[in-house]
Homo-oligomer: A and B are copies of this chain.
Amino acid sequence: MARKTGSRSETTGPRVREAALRLFARHGYAAVSMRQIAAEVGVQAGALYLYTPDKQSLLYELMHAHMEELLSAWAGVPKGTDPRARLDAFARFHIRFHLDRPEAVFIAYMELRNLEPGNFAAIEALRHRYEDELEAILRAGQEDGSFAVPDTRLATMALIAMLTGVTNWYREGGRLGRAEVEQIYRDMALKAVGANTA
């Protein structure tokens, strides 16, 4: 198939999203202009509109893709039936997944308020589904005596906040390695809900 010079339709779309991800994470959605994104990609501002109807859709698509990926990645994790084993799997998965994509995580947590109402509701629903995965584990452990949590919803929010917080300080090549960090957070999570850390 013949193709014009300068034509890169198969790569420019993804590159627009990558540039937007990087810039939104660094400076915030509202502070980034379409011109900055275009400059990062190496095209003129007008060309971006071949790949997104508008700036808001760009943000929504990034957040939506991130949340869908989070849910499907967790769905693919092998987990036992014992609540302790399932919490162990969740904590390790959460830390790994979040350390692997700090920019998308940052956007997913910081730019919710810049979503238009319909888009906000859609992202919130996905986030809620993820939180429910952890809450189900805590409830199962509460029922069979593996855990001691006075309120499973509160414990869910507390654990997710603690685990997600790793992205606030962890830096590649720092004092602690990923495996160490994962292990320590996992231990704290299990202890926090009253499980033995054996």
Main secondary structure on A side of the interface with B: helix
- Cβ of A136 within 8 Å of any chain B Cβ, yes or no, is no
- Copies of this chain present in the complex amount to 2
Contact check: which of B168, B176, B193 meets A161 at CB < 8 Å? B168
Interface size class of A (residues with CB under 8 A): 35 or more
Q: Which partner residue on chain B sits nearest A131 by CB separation? A: B169
Chain A 17-35 near chain B by CB (<8 Å), digits 1 or 0 = 0000000001111110000
Contact B161 A26 (CB under 8 A): no
Residues in chain B near residue A113, CB distance under 8 A: 26-28
Residues of A whose CB lies within 8 Å of any CB of B are 26-31, 110, 113-114, 150-151, 153-155, 157-162, 164-166, 168-169, 175-176, 180-181, 184-185, 187-189, 191-194
Give the 6 A-B CB pairs with smallest separation, nearest first: A161-B165, A30-B30, A162-B162, A30-B31, A192-B192, A188-B192
